[in-house]
Amino acid sequence: MITAKTLKLSIKSLREFARKRLPDQELIALDERDECPLEIVRDMCSPDQLGIQLLFVPEEYGGFGGGAFDVYVVCEEMARIDLGVATAVLATFLGSDPLTVGATPEQKKQWLSRIANEGILFAYGATEPDAGSDLGALQTTADRVVEDGKTVGYRINGSKQWISNGGIADAYTVLANTPSGPSWFVVERGAAGFSQGKPENKHGIRLSNTAALSFTDVVVNADRLIGGVEGQGLLQAQAVFGYTRLMVAAFGLGAGWSALDRAIPYSAKRIQAGGPLSEKQGYTHKLIVPNVARLEAGRAFIEETAQRIDAGEGSLNTEGAIAKYMSTEAGNAAAEASIQALGGYGYTHEYLVEKISRDVRITCIYEGTSEIMEMTISRDRWQLHLKTRGQHYHDRARAFEALHASQPRVGADVAALALHALAEVMERARVAKLTRHQHILLRLGEWIAYAESAGALARRAALLEQRKLPDKANQRFDAMGLAAISRIFAREAALRVADEGMRWILGAAAERAAAPDVAAFEAAVNLRAIRQAQAGLMADMDFVADVLYGRAAKPAAHVA
Ligand SMILES: Cc1cc2nc3c(=O)[nH]c(=O)nc-3n(C[C@H](O)[C@H](O)[C@H](O)COP(=O)(O)OP(=O)(O)OC[C@H]3O[C@@H](n4cnc5c(N)ncnc54)[C@H](O)[C@@H]3O)c2cc1C
């Protein structure tokens, strides 16, 4: 267990370390040289130096036993420093996850203790040249080596693609097909027949090492089969998806905020047309404030999911997918807008926002692409819609109506409008059998993520109002600020669900005559109320801009 105080101290040490060892000029130089700073990565992981690894290794193996919330806080901070270095450091946790969930006690002791005591680096080898999103297409094989009728080892053949730490790790968890199905193995660097490719020349995260792996008759002992039972690999991979996707979600959040935190002070100083850019509404309300709202919606979902995982609610894969989808898409949009916010300067290496934008791009690809997240979210929630005969999101909406009755400032009423509209859009998709169109299935994933995130953000703003957020929670905004951010996001989410939902349900009709009645559809999704709820948006955006720029506080308008 890590206390809020210990976590704060760790973050402080991490910042100190980064200030000394990874100042901006060094980051720019490493990025230009396309170089992974191996010594820095090792020092960050070494128990004698920074020892980030220790935070996440269970206490019985020599670590501090951090949970999902701690991982989120550290990942966000790491991403604010550099997403390539963050990837290199956190690859060890990704790599050791199959061990954490599936290993025998002896295997855990052997490998997790080495991470804690020696700071060894791991890599996670799942992806292959022809098996990316579809891991079932895996071709790497692990054939049994049998002596006297007993399996004494495995012979691994095949290749892995795009492996973070691929060229620098000490140990690798590798997914391979045994006679009984996909299974994880630990393979050490230096094993005969195991080789690593040259570092990939990447668009971003150039401070992380990414390499292909090749296995030619690599023989490992039977005790390298994680868990000792064949065929558990995909289950073990899935058991940590909620958790690992939260890590990448926090990467998106940290990188997005680090770009905005360069754009915000820049715009306060940059004078154009007689005044600072920060005072120009056309600038802040396009480039800054909407990105803040989307990032904080992602944060609300991350924090809520992390708390639930730590409370033992299971692996929460769908929630992890929503957190990842929202935060990484928001992080990308924020970094892209930050280039625009710095104009020509943003387009140069020196100001770093273009590097952050290149770096954060990966978060929508690795640990499951955004499209795979949409599919995961949609399939799961579709089942809930069917099981409850269309009531799932209506029920959830009613909980937000009740929240609104007690806390009218946090945007819960508009989140409820988004959720009711979602239920109606899903029901129309069901009646017309529209999920046969994969595009509709995936768009549903997006609308679900927006509506649920609006709910999470309203709940978070309500908790902050009541001073009930956990000690470890991010405290950047006060209750008034977060409530305004929540109202801004809820309006966007509701409009997106209703407008885009209608667009695609109508768009699936072959011709106008076959399309659903538009007026009835508008009434069902309550489009009128959703449009009316946009009132107050400008005042809330003005207020959030004032909060971000530290200007005199004015009372925020709200949609009570
Ligand atoms: C820098 C970097 C680091 C990485 N690190 C690791 C690592 O440490 N370990 C590891 O195992 N892997 C790692 N990966 C691999 C990463 O997880 C995969 O690239 C990712 O899962 C996507 O697989 P793919 O590249 O084969 O793309 P594909 O699966 O071929 O997807 C290509 C496009 O098609 C879309 N698509 C795919 N399937 C469908 C579908 N059914 N319906 C609709 N659209 C679909 C995708 O969303 C994507 O837009 C890394 C990748 C990179 C680039």
C-beta separation of 175 from 126 below 8 A: yes
363 Cβ inside 6 Å of ligand 1: no
Find the helix or strand (DSSP H, E) in which 206 lies. none
Tell me: pLDDT of 139 over 50: yes
- Which residue, among 436, 416, 553, has the nearest Cα to 484 in the 3D structure? 553
162 Cβ inside 6 Å of ligand 1: yes
Tell me: pLDDT of 201 over 70: yes
How many angstroms does the Cα of residue 501 sit away from the middle of ligand 1? 27
pLDDT tens sequence across 486-510: 999 999 999 999 999 999 999 999 9
How many angstroms does the Cα of residue 517 sit away from the middle of ligand 1? 40
Residues 278-297 have a mean pLDDT of 98
Residues 513-535 have a mean pLDDT of 97
Q: Distance (Å, rounded) from C-alpha 377 to C-alpha 305?
A: 14
366 Cβ inside 6 Å of ligand 1: yes
How many angstroms does the Cα of residue 376 sit away from the middle of ligand 1? 14
Assess whether 367 carries a catalytic annotation: yes
Catalytic residue among 77, 367, 424, 492: 367
pLDDT tens sequence across 203-233: 999 999 999 999 999 999 999 999 999 999 9
Residues 364-374 have a mean pLDDT of 97
49 Cβ inside 6 Å of ligand 1: no
372 Cβ inside 6 Å of ligand 1: yes
Distance of CA 520 to the CA centre of its chain: 37
125 Cβ inside 6 Å of ligand 1: yes
pLDDT tens sequence across 101-121: 999 999 999 999 999 999 999
Q: Distance (Å, rounded) from C-alpha 233 to C-alpha 237?
A: 6
Residue with the smallest CA separation from ligand 1 atom 2 is: 162
Cα 140 to Cα 88, 213, 214, 227, 310: the distances in Å are 24, 11, 10, 19, 34
Q: What is the DSSP letter of 210?
A: E
- Measured at the CA of 301, the angle between CA 267 and CA 377, to 5 degrees, comes to 115
pLDDT tens sequence across 304-350: 999 999 999 998 999 999 999 999 999 999 999 999 999 999 999 99
pLDDT band, residue 552 (cuts 50/70/90):
low
Classified as helix, coil or strand, 119 is: coil
- Identify residue 166 by its one-letter amino acid code: G
Which of 133, 374, 441 best tests ligand 1's pocket when mutated (most atoms within 8 Å of CB)?
133
Residue 558 pLDDT: 45
Q: Average pLDDT, whole number, for the chain?
A: 96
Q: What pTM was estimated for this model as a whole?
A: 0.97
For the stretch 389-397, contacts whose Cβ atoms lie closer than 8 Å and that sit 24 or more positions apart, written own/partner, are: 390/423, 390/426, 390/427, 390/430, 391/423, 392/423, 393/419, 393/420, 393/422, 393/423, 393/426, 393/451, 394/419, 394/420, 394/423, 396/455, 397/423
**What is the per-residue burial (b if ≥16 Cβ within 10 Å, else e) of 141-169?**
ebbbeeeeeeeebbbbbbbbbbbbbbbbb
**What is the per-residue burial (b if ≥16 Cβ within 10 Å, else e) of 359-397?**
bbbbbbbbbbbbbbbbbbbbebbbebbeeeebebbbebb
How many angstroms does the Cα of residue 209 sit away from the middle of ligand 1? 17
